[in-house]
Chain A
Amino acid sequence: MTRTLWTLCGLTLVLALGGSPALADETCQSPYMAKITGQEEYVYVWTLGVQGLGDGSDKLVTVDVRPGSSSYGKVVASTSVGGRHEAHHGGLTDDRRQLWVSGLDTSKIFIFDVAADPGKPKLVKTIDDFEKASGGVVGPHGAYALPGRMLISGLSNNKDHGGRTALVEYSNEGKHIATHWMPTAEDSNGAKIESVADGYGYDARVLPRKNVMLSTSFTGWSNYMMDFGKMLQDADAMKRFGQTAVLWDFHARTPKKVFHVPGAPLEVRWAWGPRNNYAFTTTALTSQLWLIYEDEAGEWQAKAVADIGDPSKIPLPVDISLSADDSLLWIDSFMDGTVRAFDVSDPHQPKQVYEKVIGKQLNMVSQSWDGERLYFTTSLLANWDKKGADNEQFLKAYDWDGTELKHRFSIDFNDAGLGRPHIMRFGAKSLYSN
Chain B
Amino acid sequence: MRLRIAIAAVLLGLAAAMPARGDPAAVDAAALARIARPPLGLPPVPLPADNPPSAAKIDLGRKLFFDRRLSHNGTMSCAMCHVPEQGFTNNELATPIGVEGRGLRRNAPTILNIAYQKRLFHDGRETALETQVISPLLASDEMANPSIGYVIAKIAALPDYAGLFERAFGAGPTIGRLGQAIASWERGLLAADAPFDRWYYGGEAGALSERQRQGYDLFIGKAGCARCHLIGERAALFTDGAFHNTGLGYHADEVVARTTAPVPVEIAPGRTVMLDRAAVESVGLPPRTDLGRHEVTLDPADLWRFKTPSLRNVALTAPYMHDGSLRSLDAVVRFYDRGAVPHEALDPMIRPLGLGEDEVAALVAFLESLTSADIAALIADARSAPVGN
A contact residues vs B (CB 8 Å cutoff): 83-86, 105-107, 129, 131-132, 136, 138, 158-162, 220-222, 224-230, 232-241, 243, 262-263, 283, 285-286, 311-314, 335, 382-388, 390
Give the interface centre of B92, B327, B387 by most chain A CB atoms within 10 Å. Answer: B92
Residues in A neighbouring B97, C-beta threshold 8 A = 161, 221-222, 225-226
Residues in B32-88 with C-beta less than 8 Å from chain A: 68, 73-75, 79-80, 83, 85-86
A sample of 27 cross-chain residue pairs with beta-carbon separation below 8 angstroms, ordered by A number, consists of A84-B73, A131-B387, A158-B68, A158-B387, A159-B79, A159-B85, A160-B83, A222-B90, A225-B100, A227-B101, A228-B283, A229-B280, A229-B283, A230-B285, A232-B263, A232-B265, A232-B283, A233-B263, A236-B92, A236-B324, A238-B265, A286-B271, A312-B273, A313-B279, A314-B265, A382-B101, A383-B101
B contact residues vs A (CB 8 Å cutoff): 68, 73-75, 79-80, 83, 85-86, 90-97, 100-101, 103, 263, 265-269, 271, 273-276, 279-285, 318-319, 324, 327, 387, 389
Asked if B275 and A222 sit within 8 Å, CB to CB, the answer is no
Closest to B319 in A: A236
* Residue in contact with A227 in the complex, picked from B94, B274, B284, CB distance below 8 Å: B284
Complex formed: what's the CA distance from A132 to B389 in Å? Answer: 6
**B83–chain A nearest beta-carbon distance, Å:** 4
14 further A-B pairs in the complex, CB-CB below 8 A; given A233-B280, A234-B95? A106-B73, A106-B75, A160-B85, A222-B92, A225-B100, A226-B101, A229-B280, A234-B324, A236-B94, A236-B327, A312-B273, A314-B273, A382-B100, A383-B101
Asked if B101 and A387 sit within 8 Å, CB to CB, the answer is no
Asked if B93 and A234 sit within 8 Å, CB to CB, the answer is yes
Residues in A neighbouring B280, C-beta threshold 8 A = 229, 232-233
Closest to B387 in A: A158
Closest to B256 in A: A233
Closest to A334 in B: B283
* Residue in contact with B269 in the complex, picked from A229, A234, A243, A314, CB distance below 8 Å: A243
Complex formed: what's the CA distance from A73 to B103 in Å? Answer: 38
Asked if B94 and A160 sit within 8 Å, CB to CB, the answer is no
Asked if B92 and A285 sit within 8 Å, CB to CB, the answer is no
Residues in B neighbouring A131, C-beta threshold 8 A = 68, 387, 389
Residues in B neighbouring A239, C-beta threshold 8 A = 92, 266, 269
Known: A105-B100, A237-B93. A136 touches B283 (CB 8 A): no
Residues in B neighbouring A314, C-beta threshold 8 A = 265, 267, 273, 275, 279
Residues in A neighbouring B267, C-beta threshold 8 A = 238, 263, 285-286, 311, 314
**A29–chain B nearest beta-carbon distance, Å:** 29
Residues in A neighbouring B94, C-beta threshold 8 A = 234-237
